[in-house]
Structure 1
Amino acid sequence: MKNSDIIDRDLAVVWHPCTQMKDHESLPLVPIRRGEGVWLEDFDGKRYIDAISSWWVNLFGHANPRINAAVKDQLDTLEHVILAGFSHQPVVELSERLVKIAPPGLNHCFYADNGSAAVEVALKMSFHYWRNTGKTNKTKFITLSNSYHGETLGTLAIGDVALYKKTYEPLLMEAITVPAPDCYDREPGESCADVAHRMFVHMEQALERHAHETAAVIVEPLVQCAGTMRMYDPEYLRLLREACDRHGVHLIADEIAVGFGRTGTMFACEQAAISPDFMTTSKGLTAGYLPMAVVLTNETVYRAFYDEYENLTAFLHSHSYTGNPLACRTALATLDIFEEDDVLARNVELAEVMRQATEHLNEHPHVADVRQTGMILAVEMVKDRATREPFDWKERRGLRVYQHALSRGALLRPLGNVSYMMPPYVITPEQIYFLAEVMTEGIDKAVK
């Protein structure tokens, strides 16, 4: 079978996500036959380094033998069982281990299917907590500009990326949006921590004005991933935790994209030494194998729902595949690898290789910013470096980098005019340097 066979069949029946399907009249699909480690291989035998971890989910490579073995073993034991009124060993063990490695105080796990569902759970749980405790006026949420939390209606409402949100605004609840502490906007001589302090004034004002009607503040800790990988200092999280406590508002940390070692620590919140009231996780939780999400929360929240049935205070949110045993066993195998291979320490070394490999782009005439947090590195292309004037988005310069990378055997899917690396943790230094070379070539071609 060839690529062309799969492409023809695909375009007849499949509607792809985050895609203008008409693009595929001129931009060929890439059908993948198999994966191994950082590599994806198409039906014609061409290989591509998966530099974006297949939408940020793959941590330890495709077809990882250790994870494969765990899934195969579980498949012969129990594939699925309802989690309402029933339980199973993998979900208990996974919950115990997540509580052990999570920020202090997060000691209860609620399971869902995917990242958007996890955020919906956290929003509903926060609102419902205040309702159960008699504060029924707390119905609003505060969010940061340029934030992204998913694409279901609730998550779109508290996001702020127009590309995904604008079309559906008539359907959405209204959120309170505060300017983000984006380090890209730093003034000359200003540090990222300085930006965090300067921009926190807006959050403080919003809390002073709206705390009485606000259930929670929700943020993506350290990196706004879908918002073109914009980054900010941990100091903002420290200030936010203190302010939420002072104003009596929950803090939701959306760690779906940044958790499980991606920012240099197991969870991004650790870099600010804070514990949120809710932490959403997904993506890397199962190392890219199976869809699953977990919302962790604390004893205070849990106890607000613990009551006699007739009082109707229970959290009646459910998904058919909640706590799926196969997914739980996959997550346990993922955590085993973290423990056995000292992954976080190796990631520190790989992150430094990523920095060194792309350091030259800091002087590129059409690069305004090379930014990095752990194993996330982003390069922002602009029309003019001195003024930071952006390219017209309609020119799709980032797409040109993507197309060049495919021709060289790399998957570097862009975010607008931002090209980035978010590779699996099993990548080698040599492969990182190759990706930096390909990215540089692509940028040179894209800006002509």
Structure 2
Amino acid sequence: MTSSLERIRGRVLAPDPHTPRLVDWPDALIEIDARGRITDVRAAPADCEVPETWPGAVVLPGFVDCHLHYPQTRIIGSASGPLLPWLERSVFPEEARFADDAHAVAVADEFCAAMIAQGTTSAGVFSSSHPSATQILLEALDRAGLRAVTGVTLMDREAPDAVTLGADAALAALEGLLDRHHGEVAGVVIEPLVQGAAGMIVSPPGFLRGVRELCDGANALLICDEVATGFGRTGRMFACEHEGVSPDLMAVAKGITGGYLPLAATLATEDLYEGFLANYQDMKHFFHGHTYTANPVAAAVAIANLDLFETDRTLERLQPKIERLAKGLERFRAHPNVGDVRQKGFMVGIELVRDRATKEAHPPEEKICIRVTDEARRRGVIIRPLAPALVLMPPLAITDEELDFLLDVTYASVEAVLGT
């Protein structure tokens, strides 16, 4: 079967920052396969150029394709878009590429297949990583016939039910794992700096940088899950920035829209992206579905949210609030039923114990964290129980007065449930 190229009149989605609009524009070039299906559409003016006021215009063949639309192209593709240029400056030194988070499973499958082709048979995961993320990777490994290598919790943590390791010991453990499986480990998946669902466990300084260096030495990908830590939560736009680390793959979500609508993205370096480039007949490129791709409304909300980071100087104004939060947490450290207080930026875990000296844990059936959060709700504050820790993740726009109220209510709720 052969395909043909035909010129048609199309419509241009003009990415004007103030009034995005559809306008008629002649000479779109479409590719039609032997079955009459449109497989490609591109701009191809015959006698004139697209006006300079419409950079990155997208040609649509007489209809609006909701999988390629103005908010999407602005957020990820235009030279003046709010996110992509920033990522290239601050996180990815090379060009970054986007896909939606629904692609994560498929990316894992494709990646595992590529690893098999070059002889790689293992992937490294952290045993305390987010369960759903770990499950996606392990299922992909299983489908590909690969085996997974799991390790201990490679983080500092003062708690009664976890291994306590410093940065040097943790990195030595990872180095040993990579050495034992030299040439077999495809990648290391990690939540940078803070393991959220594991109890707000903060990694020691230098750990993430050390992981990056070990991955480089082992020719393994560093895959960072910034779903929880991204977009200002740790005090920088992305947690990786704190240690000058550039991951090979990065997952983002949640904060990209300020939490108002669900939206996620998977970012990759140019080198990794190019690994999927080939002729169609090679069947190497990424066969992705469109069902969950780039919802126009969510993408528009993300644009508005990212614009606020610039216009409101969100990250700059966040630093005094982080210091205020740290000062307000000091009273928790002295409480007899608080075993540990962990903070990185606006991510806080307050671990509740029976005895601060021994770190004896409360039995699960006592539901201490749930009781404390229920008490806080009655007092006007919603916080999350993540036993054995209470989680505080205030909005970046919180005022000083609201931050003080949050801390006062949380402390009073701990007192009400556990006493002094």
Q: Give the TM interval when normalised to the shorter protein.
A: 0.7 to 0.9
When Rg is computed on C-alpha atoms for both structures, the one with the higher figure is: 2
Q: Distance in 1 between matches of 2:121 and 2:20?
A: 42
Letter in 2 for 1:416: A
Q: Distance in 2 between matches of 1:101 and 1:122?
A: 24
Q: Distance in 2 between matches of 1:332 and 1:360?
A: 39
Q: Distance in 1 between matches of 2:257 and 2:390?
A: 25
Letter in 1 for 2:282: N
Q: Distance in 2 between matches of 1:153 and 1:295?
A: 17
Q: Distance in 2 between matches of 1:141 and 1:336?
A: 38
Letter in 1 for 2:216: D
Matched, 1:182 2:155: yes
CA contact (8 A) 1:121 1:295 kept: no
Residue in structure 1 matching 2:344, options 352, 356, 373: 373
CA contact (8 A) 2:261 2:301 kept: yes
Residue in structure 2 matching 1:243, options 214, 221, 226: 214
Partner in structure 2 of residue 292 of structure 1: 263
Letter in 2 for 1:315: F
Matched, 1:279 2:264: no
Q: How does 1:248-259 map to 2 (within 5 A)?
A: 248-259=219-230
Once the two structures are TM-superposed, the CA of residue 144 in structure 1 deviates from its matched residue by 1.6
Q: 1:291-312: per-residue Cα shift (whole Å, max 9, x none)?
A: 2211111111111111111111
Letter in 2 for 1:138: T
- CA distance 1:143–1:443, change in 2 (3 Å): same
Q: 1:91-120: per-residue Cα shift (whole Å, max 9, x none)?
A: 2221144322221235243322x5xx3543
Residue in structure 1 matching 2:396, options 419, 425, 434: 425
**1:180 aligned counterpart, secondary structure:** coil
Q: How does 1:44-123 map to 2 (within 5 A)?
A: 81-83=65-67, 87-96=68-77, 97-102=82-87, 103-105=91-93, 107-112=95-100, 114=101, 117=102, 119-123=104-108
Partner in structure 1 of residue 13 of structure 2: none
**1:184 aligned counterpart, secondary structure:** coil
- Quick one: percent identity of the two aligned structures? 34
Once the two structures are TM-superposed, the CA of residue 359 in structure 1 deviates from its matched residue by 1.0
Number of residue pairs aligned between Structure 1 and Structure 2:
352
Q: Distance in 1 between matches of 2:230 and 2:312?
A: 18
Q: 1:354-392: per-residue Cα shift (whole Å, max 9, x none)?
A: 111221111111111111000111210011111111111
Matched, 1:308 2:296: no
CA contact (8 A) 1:215 1:250 kept: yes
Once the two structures are TM-superposed, the CA of residue 147 in structure 1 deviates from its matched residue by 1.2
Letter in 2 for 1:126: F
Once the two structures are TM-superposed, the CA of residue 80 in structure 1 deviates from its matched residue by 7.7
Q: 1:401-437: per-residue Cα shift (whole Å, max 9, x none)?
A: 1110111011012101211210111111111111111
Bigger relative contact order, structure 1 or 2 (CA pairs below 8 A, ≥6 apart):
1
- CA distance 1:95–1:382, change in 2 (3 Å): same
CA contact (8 A) 1:106 1:296 kept: no
**2:329 aligned counterpart, secondary structure:** helix
Q: Scaled by the length of structure 2, what TM-score is found? A: 0.76
Report the more deviating stretch, 314-323 or 275-284: 314-323
- CA distance 1:128–1:218, change in 2 (3 Å): same
- CA distance 1:80–1:391, change in 2 (3 Å): farther
After TM superposition, the runs of 4+ consecutive aligned structure 1 residues lying more than 4 A away are: 73-80, 155-158
- CA distance 1:125–1:238, change in 2 (3 Å): farther
Residue in structure 2 matching 1:395, options 359, 366, 389: 366
Report the more deviating stretch, 89-98 or 218-227: 89-98
Q: Distance in 2 between matches of 1:409 and 1:75?
A: 44
Unaligned runs of 5+ residues in structure 1 are 1-72, 159-168, 187-191
CA contact (8 A) 1:183 1:232 kept: yes
Q: Distance in 2 between matches of 1:273 and 1:379?
A: 28
Partner in structure 2 of residue 13 of structure 1: none
CA contact (8 A) 2:235 2:346 kept: yes
**2:172 aligned counterpart, secondary structure:** helix
Once the two structures are TM-superposed, the CA of residue 286 in structure 1 deviates from its matched residue by 1.4
CA contact (8 A) 1:281 1:295 kept: yes
Partner in structure 1 of residue 43 of structure 2: none
Letter in 1 for 2:390: S
Once the two structures are TM-superposed, the CA of residue 234 in structure 1 deviates from its matched residue by 4.2
Q: Distance in 2 between matches of 1:411 and 1:261?
A: 21
Q: Scaled by the length of structure 1, what TM-score is found? A: 0.72
Matched, 1:124 2:109: yes
Matched, 1:330 2:338: no
Q: Distance in 1 between matches of 2:400 and 2:253?
A: 27
Letter in 2 for 1:295: T
Once the two structures are TM-superposed, the CA of residue 74 in structure 1 deviates from its matched residue by 8.3
Residue in structure 1 matching 2:127, options 139, 145, 149: 145
Q: Distance in 1 between matches of 2:109 and 2:234?
A: 27
- CA distance 1:121–1:352, change in 2 (3 Å): farther
Letter in 1 for 2:69: H
Q: Distance in 2 between matches of 1:435 and 1:76?
A: 47
Q: Distance in 2 between matches of 1:179 and 1:185?
A: 15
The RMSD of aligned alpha carbons is 3.1
Partner in structure 1 of residue 33 of structure 2: none
- CA distance 1:181–1:74, change in 2 (3 Å): farther
Partner in structure 1 of residue 375 of structure 2: 404
Q: 1:179-198: per-residue Cα shift (whole Å, max 9, x none)?
A: 23322249xxxxx9x81122
Report the more deviating stretch, 207-216 or 391-400: 207-216
Once the two structures are TM-superposed, the CA of residue 318 in structure 1 deviates from its matched residue by 2.2
